[in-house]
Chain A
Amino acid sequence: MADSVDTTLYKKEDALIEELGYDDHFHEHHHGDKYQASFITKYIFSQDHKIIAKQFLITGMIWAIIGAAMSVIFRMQLGFPEESLTWIKPLLGKWIVVDANGVGTLDPEFYYALVTMHGTILVFFVLTAGLSGTFSNLLIPLQVGARDMASPFLNMLSYWFFFLAGIIMFISLFLNTGPFSGGWVAYPPLSALPEASSGSKAGMTMWTMSLVFFVVSVLLGGINYITTVLNLRTKGMSMWRLPLTIWAFLVTAILGLLSFPVLVAAFFLLMFDRGIGTSFYLSEIYIGGQALDHVGGSPILYQHLFWFLGHPEVYIIILPAMGLVSEVLSVQSRKPIFGYRAMVLSILAIGFLSFLVWAHHMFMSGVNPFISNIFVVFTLIIAVPSAVKVFNWISTLYRGNVRLNTPALFAIGFVSMFISGGLTGIFLGNSALDIQLHDTYFVVAHFHIVMGVAAFFGMFAGIYHWFPKLYGRFMDETMGKIHFWGTMIGAYVIFWPMHYLGMVGVPRRYYSFDAYQAFSDFDEMNMFITVGAIITFGLQLVFVINFFYSIWKGKKQTVRNPWGATSLEWTTPIRPGHGNWPGKIPSVHRWAYDYGKDGKEFIPQITPLAEGEEPSDH
């Protein structure tokens, strides 16, 4: 697109880096240095942030396929309860119960296991590790102008702990008693008592083990991201010159660092209750024909601890997506992101407030109703910075020159999803309305749209946009657009009708609605949703094909800065080696959003202010 500009620009750019850059006496070892001497250290136990990013991305994709496939299976049970599922018996074995007529149905226990695993996998493995892990790793060093993460070794460990967590979770799928089936929130006593559910036996033990390792991964990653952003910014890269992606990753990492340890604490107390007879969460329980010894514990304590992570967690998921979308929208509309400081402040405000709203998940759980007043107030306050972000994204498009390629479309789709899902949050955050809507399909619709689909859209925008940075090639645009439109329409087809189900009061996590008059009138709608889910799932495979096809066969990146972006990651060679820049580290002289300023299409961050030019970041 901008070939003619580029050839001359790059000479100028390289000269600028050479002239003004910071010399840290880095020498590229053409035959590999000690960190990438062999295949194993280069591609497997790699300490290079770019390789680690790819590891997170591909692992996340594998988990996304597994997690989404699970949802397709349980949606078939909900949409076509009468149809025989015997044909997936080879895959699910005894969990498909075949009756005398040869009609196979999903075992309720396994239905709940699938629901639970779908939630756990998508929330933690895909939208936390796969999203933040991929892009924090890829973009933080490249956009702040660092050779690598502050501690490449911890960074490597971060991935391998994630990998270990994944292996344990994966093995738990094949347990004889089934994987954990008590919901991704794992509320005790259901999760604490093996008598309560067969998934609460070995499945729960492995689930907690897996997630403890996962938290180790998040913490190792997070401490690295924070340190890198704070300490390894290149010369001239003040905090107010950071691209919004970096702000988002920084706040995400801080949220993770402050909240995940609380989850581990909650899990340890749960393990004590399960294993050594303590009563943190258990009291006055009669189960399996006997009264248990536990007295004095409170199941609500677990909910407080869990949601102290759980709510920041949804921002851990959505903030990186917001950062990616801000960057993609700005670059592709050739305009500075509107209201950069407001965007930064709203990220900080969301980050701060996310710690003060956790009990809005617990309005109906038996906490003192007076306490809920406070959480209602903070919950609805958090809508304000979210609204500000939406208005700023929309204004970024206004009077731009928007290249409607796949990354831009996904960014626009993200904004649409975030609006739709965010607005329903205003219903749910108001405790009075939560009385009726709590634990209904309204909630399912809300969080899938606002943090499931929206976060995926942010991730897709990021993958399509930075694919050249990852693999030196472009993803295919035709497949990308089929993927976008299919997913955009599909996501609304699946989740929009769920609002209506929720307004009727249809509860979530029901294996069957037949027993109830009030919930059983929606066979057609459930069928519609299920068909939508199957088709949308199929379309994600178009993305997978596109991804792997493009790695080897995609259109080659011939210019260093294909999108005409200002940020530093596009000043490296097309395939950046270890250390990212072959010579000096570029120094920064302006903010990341000088698009269309003074009649120039874009001015890279490495370009010093022209004579008499006002800095834009005042």
Chain B
Amino acid sequence: MTLLIIVLAFILLAIIIIQISRINEIAKTIRGEEQALLSSSRKQSRYLLIFMVLFLFGTIVSAYLYKNYMLGYGPHTAASEHGPSLDRLFNVTLAITGIVFVITHIALFYFGYKYSYRVGQKATFMPHDNKLEIIWTAIPAFAMFALVINGLIAWNDVMADVDPDEDYMEIEATGYQFAWILRYPGEDGKLGSRDFRKINSINPLGQDWTDIKNLDDIQPTDLVLPVNKKVRVRITARDVLHDFYLPHFRLKMDAVPGLPTFFVFTPTITTEEYREQLAEYPEYQVPADPTDPNGPEKWEQFDFELACAELCGSGHYSMRKRVIILEQAEYDAWLREQNSYYLGSVRGTKEDPFADQLLQFEIDERNVAFEEAFETALEAENPDEKIIQLEHVYFETGSAQLTPLSQYELDNIKVAMQANPSVVLEISGHTDNTGDPEGNQVLSQQRADAVFNYIAQGLDGERIIAVGYGQSNPIDSNDTEEGRVKNRRTEIKIISQ
């Protein structure tokens, strides 16, 4: 129906236009061709002049109205160190082209008006003027030269890679359909290696987990950076082209699969400071959510943003990420809260090449934890508190064979014993109540002996006793699997010190 009305309206309009044209045509024949041309030329020449005035006026007024959105005017100042140089270049170019724009438009439309057709007006025969040609070749050439020089200085400055000796941090952004994955190097300050063939659902970047540089890399949700610190962003893509685009930082670079690119920049203003800056402008003093007039104002909700600027498929418009610039101290605090992606999502899964061994930091952590526990036990008065459960000592199922990972904890005991030569220990083995109580008794004794054999090497054997308690000393209910897990345990107990 709507379609029909549109078609009908259109046909009607066509008929009207054709009729008007025919009336004009008839009028023309009555007045004569010459007269018709004369009057229409005169009319059109006035239109040209009116158009020129309105057009130039419109461009200037609209530029004024939108000045707050232009580079470097109003609140949209650049938030990066190189940004202002680009904004300045933009304004220089705008000034030069603006002058040319106004002059040529005035000349074009004014000549159209001034020299429109008149009876008896003779056109002047002036085929060329080489002097003029040289002048108006030279002037633009000179202007272009100036712009090129300024542009190239800025360009080469902005695009330069970091000097390996200078102080910078490197992060990585990887585009895929349709989001970004950010990667920070973690404590070692280095990003680990990647191989696209290793990508799968729990390894979205194809990180090579055998490369220990990868183990502390983090994948934060937001792009968080410290202010005034030089950042080198390594930009890659996983499937198709994307473009890492930070409009507020005057930064844009394609993400190309198989060909990492980079962009170096330094944020110069924190999100908080930028918000304060926006707060001065009325267009930011309105409620952020129009349906909630008492809610926070727009400037309070402002965030820098990361966007995609290279067509990458049907979700191209939805690759937003929040960008947060913090003071160095706040940034450090934030960074401390971030967990390594490996530890959070990969450690212990079938993807983890180190599943059957401890990583150094884990060894260190357990060491510290054990030392603390040992210290507490030494100082405790109550005999119950002189017991330490060995949470990291395990045996193969149904046997007294220690698992390889148990050695670290046992080494800790050894070290503690050497450091405290007067301490005498009991190693106690416990089981749950499944199976034959006799058998459990034997197994717990064998397990306690296995631990004894490991620790006793290089120590005075007199200082250690190994006792198997079987299922006689449960610390939790044997009715649940959880409880039974707790009951199967190895403990050490400080007998004297």
Which A residues form the contact surface with B (CB < 8 A)? 1, 3, 87, 90, 107-109, 111-112, 181-183, 187-190, 193, 196-198, 282-287, 291, 295-300, 333-336, 338-342, 364-366, 369-370, 372-373, 376-377, 380-381, 383-384, 387-388, 390-395, 397-405, 409, 412, 415-416, 419-420, 423-424, 426-427, 430-433, 435-436, 438-440, 476-479, 481-482, 485, 488-489, 492, 496-497, 500, 503-505, 507, 509-513, 515-519, 521, 538, 541-542, 545-546, 549, 555, 593, 595-599, 616
Contact = CB atoms under 8 A, between A and B. Distances in A.
Interface stretch (B38-46, B349-357, B368-376, B388-396): B38-46
B297 interface: no
Contact of A432 (B33, B86, B100, B111): B86
A363 B212 CA distance: 36
B89 A432 contact: yes
Give the interface size class of chain B: 35 or more
B165 interface: no
B165 to A, nearest CB: 21
A380 B325 CA distance: 37
A-B pairs with the 10 shortest C-beta distances?
A: A283-B258, A505-B247, A369-B159, A404-B44, A430-B151, A284-B258, A397-B111, A432-B154, A423-B97, A510-B317
Nearest to B44: A404
B103 to A, nearest CB: 10
Contact of A287 (B25, B51, B197, B239): B239
A335 B239 contact: no
A402 to B, nearest CB: 5
A399 B118 CA distance: 12
A325 B252 CA distance: 38
Interface string B4-38: 00000010001001101100110000000110010
A489 B315 CA distance: 34
Given A187-B241, A366-B256, A394-B111, 12 more contacts: A196-B313, A197-B314, A298-B259, A338-B127, A380-B148, A402-B111, A478-B25, A515-B320, A541-B14, A593-B127, A596-B125, A599-B122
Interface stretch (B130-138, B425-433, B470-478): B130-138
A383 B247 contact: no
A401 B305 contact: no
B240 A518 contact: no
A242 B195 CA distance: 61
A596 B126 CA distance: 9
Interface in B69-117: 69-71, 76, 85-86, 89-90, 93-94, 96-97, 100-101, 104-105, 107-109, 111-112, 115-117
Given A380-B144, A518-B305, A596 B90 contact: no
Given A397-B115, A492-B55, A512-B317, A596 B247 contact: no
Given A284-B196, A416-B105, A433 B123 contact: no
A364 B243 contact: yes
B21 A401 contact: no
A430 B93 contact: yes
B401 interface: no
A197 B239 CA distance: 11
Contacts of B317: 108, 509-513, 515
B467 interface: no
Contacts of B129: 338-339
B253 A399 contact: no
A373 B154 CA distance: 11
B155 A1 contact: no
A404 B40 contact: yes
A295 B258 contact: yes
13 contacts: A87-B3, A187-B311, A193-B239, A285-B258, A299-B259, A342-B133, A364-B243, A402-B111, A427-B93, A433-B151, A436-B250, A485-B47, A596-B123
A402 B41 contact: yes
Nearest to B146: A380
A402 B41 CA distance: 8
A217 to B, nearest CB: 27
B336 interface: no
B257 A412 contact: no
B37 A423 contact: no
Contacts of A189: 239-241, 257
A198 B59 CA distance: 41
Contacts of B55: 492
Given A189-B239, A388-B133, A488-B51, A112 B123 contact: no
Nearest to A116: B311
Contact of A336 (B45, B127, B239): B127
A143 B199 CA distance: 64
Contact of B252 (A111, A341, A438): A438
Contact of A372 (B37, B155, B176, B314): B155
Contact of B62 (A433, A497, A595, A599): A497
Contacts of B24: 477-478
B70 A503 contact: yes
B403 interface: no
A424 B94 CA distance: 9
A467 B93 CA distance: 41
A328 to B, nearest CB: 13
Contacts of A387: 100, 136-137, 140
Contacts of B125: 335-336, 595-598
Contact of B144 (A333, A336, A384, A500): A384
Contact of B258 (A297, A431, A521): A297
A518 B302 CA distance: 9
Contacts of B51: 485, 488-489
Nearest to A87: B2
Contacts of A436: 71, 86, 90, 247, 250, 252
Given A402-B112, A435-B86, A596-B123, A516 B305 contact: yes
